[in-house]
C-alpha cells in the first residue's frame, strides 16, 4: 500500500542540536558585541557605561537612543567649562538651524553722480 501522508524530512537529532547551538552562539556573540558598543558610546558621551546594558531590554533600548539624541551630554558641559577657563565666551544654546547667513552677493554701489 502507498502512504499518502507528508514526506518525512526529519534531520537526525545530532544535526539539529549542532545547528541550534551554532545559531545560539552567533546570537550571543552579536548581542555581546552590541552591548559593548553601547557601553563605549555612553562612556564617551560622559554617562555611566552601565547604561549600555539597557540595550538588552526591549523598550529601554529605544529610550536610550532618544536620550542620547535629545539631551545635553555631560561631555559638552565639561567642554564649556574648559572654554570658560581658557577665556572663550560660552556659546549660546542653539535651537533649530541658527541665524540666517548673510547673502554672498551684494548689489553694487550706485554710480557716482
pLDDT tens digit string along 60-110?
Answer: 989 998 988 888 888 888 888 887 887 766 566 666 555 555 556 666 677
Q: What CA–CA distances, in Å, run from 15 to 19, 27, 45, 98, 105?
A: 6, 18, 45, 61, 73
The number of helix segments (H) and strand segments (E) in the chain equals 3, 0
- pTM > 0.95: yes or no: no
Pair 38, 52: CB distance under 8 Å: yes
Residue 12 — pLDDT band, cuts 50, 70, 90? confident
Q: Where are the domains of the chain?
A: 13-86
> Whole-angstrom Cα distance, residue 91 to residue 80?
8
> Whole-angstrom Cα distance, residue 28 to residue 74?
31
Pair 54, 61: CB distance under 8 Å: yes
> DSSP label at 26?
H
Amino acid at each position: 500500500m502507498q502512504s499518502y501522508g507528508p514526506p518525512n524530512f526529519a534531520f537526525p537529532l545530532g544535526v539539529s542540536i549542532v545547528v541550534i547551538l551554532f545559531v545560539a552562539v552567533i546570537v550571543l556573540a552579536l548581542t555581546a558585541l552590541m552591548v559593548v558598543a553601547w557601553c563605549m558610546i555612553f562612556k564617551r558621551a560622559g554617562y555611566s557605561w552601565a547604561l549600555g546594558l539597557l540595550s538588552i531590554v526591549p523598550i529601554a533600548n529605544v529610550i536610550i537612543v532618544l536620550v542620547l539624541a535629545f539631551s545635553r551630554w555631560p561631555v559638552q558641559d565639561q567642554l564649556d567649562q574648559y572654554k570658560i577657563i581658557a577665556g572663550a565666551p560660552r556659546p549660546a544654546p542653539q535651537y533649530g538651524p541658527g541665524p540666517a547667513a548673510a547673502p554672498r552677493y551684494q548689489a553694487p554701489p550706485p554710480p557716482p553722480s
